[in-house]
Structure 1
Amino acid sequence: MWQDFAEAGSTSDWQSSKLAQHATGLALTNLSRGLYADHYNGLVTKGEATHDARVMSAEPANEPTRVIVTDCSDSTNALKYRADNESYADWSGGGEAGTPSRPG
């Protein structure tokens, strides 16, 4: 899911069909809305966030049909740039828990 999101972020393709291959419901809505906001604001993302996904529960245990996953991400290396001129535009902070990030 995150690889598809990073790929879509490189062009802010909020309608990428790949997103729905790994996300549904609220997760898909949140991914698409974030990409749409970037598209609307003329931004693209370069780089990828890191993630620490963990399965919290799986039911029923013998043949799960419902799995709850939690994830902590760090967007330090996923920076926003203007789509029209590729200038750095990540004024939002980025990073883990809002830690400011600036390229090199």
Structure 2
Amino acid sequence: MTTEKIAFLPLGSICIVKGNTKKVMIIARGLATVIQQETVYFDYGACLYPEGMMGDSLLYFNKEDIAKVVHNGFEDEDNELMLDNLNMWVEQANLPKGDVYALNKQNQKTT
């Protein structure tokens, strides 16, 4: 069974997530986290741009949550190898994709 490869944006890419006006910079890809006692994965982890990481707050989102890509990050052969590894992990982990709104709702309950 072959699945379609996910075309992850490269690290350092800057984008705007739907429903926001603030730019974010992708600093992680293929992240697993727990929402309501279920392990799920998100395509991306990001920090605010130009602020960078502030404390330990990482913004999670998926490719379908991106409203606009402002800048593509650096790509080379190492990135291509990492994309292959990420796609293999997504297929083998067999985790459902996370829902940004469910994560936000959970985070609002804990604050």
Between structure 1 and structure 2, the one with the greater Rg is: 1
| TM-score in terms of structure 2 length | 0.29
When you count strand as a share of all residues, which structure comes out higher? 2
Q: Which structure's relative contact order is higher, taking Cα pairs within 8 Å and 6+ residues apart?
A: 2
| TM-score in terms of structure 1 length | 0.30
